[in-house]
Amino acid sequence: MRLTRILLVCAVLCGVAPCLRAEYISLRNGQRLHVTGYQIIGEKYRLQVAGGIVEVPVDEVISIDVEDSFAPLPAPIAATAPFREIVKAAATHYNMDADLVASVIAAESNFDPKAVSRKNARGLMQLLPQTAARFGVRNIFDPQENIDAGTHYLRDLLQRYDNNLALALAAYNAGPERVRQFGRVPPYAETASYIRRVKKAYEKSKAGLTLETVSPSGPADKKKFSSSALNPSASSASSQLSLSN
């Protein structure tokens, strides 16, 4: 039966032209890989991913979906956005801008609570197990625990880098030790792309008039982009956010 399945998949692949668009491959462990090409070698898939080639057993692959079958990146904190109330609660608790938290989630996991990266970062805010443990997370895939810890960590990074969003996001993506090593945003293409995606989503949310900023004093002025990632009403976080690299 296993051999039959492999032969059927091979037959399909042989009759199809090479992949012209990116696809997602879902694995049994909950991980979803973004690939630009694949082939079967023996009993393994050889997958083309950003940065190189990975191989996974055929039996570990649940499905292969073309990229355009997925919904567009969710707008941060929109009325129908997933986990909206959890994000707002965490943002309120840590005096953060809910739109920024949601923008990070969108870039990290596209709001997939079971997401697992190649570096073993997990859940909505892609926490490494050691980071999750540091913030008291018991179930890293639980949306509430994951978002609470990720928001706490992001708040700490913003305070550490004097509200410099680029440095805080670089540390969130590549680690504070890399920011310390280079004394600036690390020269990694992945990190630079990550910062651009979060900033773009965040700026769009501020310009779109459709999103909410958590503030004890009520919704923030949405007529123009607000540069405060930390809640401006918080006495401990009143400085303005720097968006420069």
User: What percentage of the chain exceeds 70 in pLDDT?
Assistant: 68
Q: Is 190 a catalytic residue?
A: no
Paired with 49 in beta bridges are: 35, 52
CA–CA distance, 78 with 101 (Å, rounded to integer): 12
CA–CA distance, 52 with 63 (Å, rounded to integer): 21
Question: How much is the pLDDT for 237?
Answer: 36
Tally of CB atoms within 10 A around 134: 13
Terminal-residue alpha carbon distance, the chain: 55
CA-nearest of 117, 109, 70 to 87 is 109
Q: 63 pLDDT band (50/70/90 cuts)? A: confident
> Helix 143-160 to helix 84-93 angle, to the nearest 10 degrees?
40
Taking 60 as the threshold, does the pLDDT of residue 245 lie above it? no
Taking 80 as the threshold, does the pLDDT of residue 104 lie above it? yes
Starting at the earlier edge strand, list the strands of the sheet with 44-49: 52-57, 44-49, 32-41, 23-27, 61-66
Q: 244 pLDDT band (50/70/90 cuts)? A: low
Interacting residues of 198 by C-beta distance below 8 A, sequence separation 6+: 100, 103, 104, 106, 107, 169
Tell me which of 102 and 15 has the higher pLDDT: 102
Rounded to the nearest integer, the mean pLDDT of the chain is 75
Interacting residues of 126 by C-beta distance below 8 A, sequence separation 6+: 108, 109, 115, 117, 150
CA–CA distance, 137 with 64 (Å, rounded to integer): 32
Taking 80 as the threshold, does the pLDDT of residue 165 lie above it? yes
* 212 touches 84 (CB < 8 A): no
CA–CA distance, 156 with 240 (Å, rounded to integer): 15
Taking 80 as the threshold, does the pLDDT of residue 80 lie above it? no
Question: How much is the pLDDT for 49?
Answer: 78
From the list 43, 55, 67, 108, the catalytic residue is: 108
The string of pLDDT tens digits covering residues 117-130 is: 988 999 999 999 99
Taking 70 as the threshold, does the pLDDT of residue 132 lie above it? yes
Taking 50 as the threshold, does the pLDDT of residue 163 lie above it? yes
The string of pLDDT tens digits covering residues 196-219 is: 999 999 988 877 644 443 333 333
Rounded average pLDDT over 141-147: 96
Question: How much is the pLDDT for 210?
Answer: 40
Question: How much is the pLDDT for 103?
Answer: 94
